[in-house]
Structure 1
Amino acid sequence: MQTITALVFKNFETLDLFGPVEMLGSLPEHYQIQFASMTGGIIRSKHGVAMQTTAVAELKHPTVILLIVGGMGTRQVINDKPFLQTLTTFADQADWVLSVCTGSALLAKAGILDNRRATSNKLSWQWVIAQSDKVHWVEQARWVVDDKFYTSSGVSAGMDMALGFIADRQGVDIARQVANYTEYRWQEDSELDDFYQP
């Protein structure tokens, strides 16, 4: 059983979180999920979804997989040094780091993606890549894998990435079973990007 720590903040993008949670949470024999924030308590998404979180200092299980999401709230925490330091600590300790949408901007700002390949949300692309010129940004990609780092494009791409992660860990047949269970049309090719505008 591997613990996923989902690190959230005010005004996170709802599907960035709950899309991957749906996919990974469909395999409770492999993954358990804990929801964390800097202070704990109720954190609301951009759409007003209120969720209970545990303060990062009070988490019960060590983080094996870090899930960092994006959304408008990234604009507030991008210059929050304690948050970025916490993010760095979690990323260093985790065996795997999964980033959805503009979550990669936070990883980039913290220097975690230096000399790594990564992608992000197309609509926020210029803002994201401005956070670091040390990242090898890949604009045409549904998701990108570089060592232990998985970064995905915008919002719904997090589900494709999560299924790609499952395929890499548990096999593509299991990933397809999860996609079928959720009645989700999985984009299996990480390089096929319908939203890329050259």
Structure 2
Amino acid sequence: MSDSNNPYGQPGPQGGQPGGPAGPPQYGQQSGPPQYGDQGGMPQYGQAAGPEYGQAGYGQPGPSPAPTERPRPLDLAVKLMYAGAVIAVIDLVIALTQMDAIREMAHEQAAAQGMPEMADAMAGTSIAIGIGVGAISIALWIWMAVMNGKGKSWARILATIFGALAVIGFLFSLAQVMTGIQLVMAVIRVALAIAILVLLWNKASSAYYNAMSNKTP
């Protein structure tokens, strides 16, 4: 016997039918988080989640690093400056070995001026000046070698001024009477000055000076 009020004998409303209550989702329908492969949620495998290699912000070549080691031309210039200090020492030693000749020359000049009593004072003054100039020259060579070795731009400018003065001094000395050893030493000094100037203004040396100038202390 059928009972019209018995719900078990009547077909219930199917989910999705108009007018009926929504039933549980059938197999194949989405009711939860997006499935694998959907556009929402996390990026799929193979999709770019950030800048790829070679794109802006990653993989682009940056500025070339500044040189941190002293370049070879500047290193050679520094060594030549130390060689200049050695030559200055040799000049000083040669000057000291000529003290007797300096005294004799001072006596001749004093006698020619009618002041023979001033001969010893003149000789002493000449010797003291020679020793002082030699010591200062040695100190300047060493100072310039150290400062240029550290890449100080002002030191390169100062060394350039000293080198130019050395060349000018050599040209003026050609008009004077010099002994053979004096001429040889003068040629060596001017050749040394020119070589140092060329090395200091080499392209690699200039890049090092610029890097050291921009370096934060």
TM-score (norm 1): 0.27
TM-score (norm 2): 0.25
Q: With a CA cutoff of 8 Å and minimum separation of 6, indicate the structure with the bigger relative contact order.
A: 2
Greater Rg, structure 1 or structure 2?
Answer: 2
Higher helix share: 2
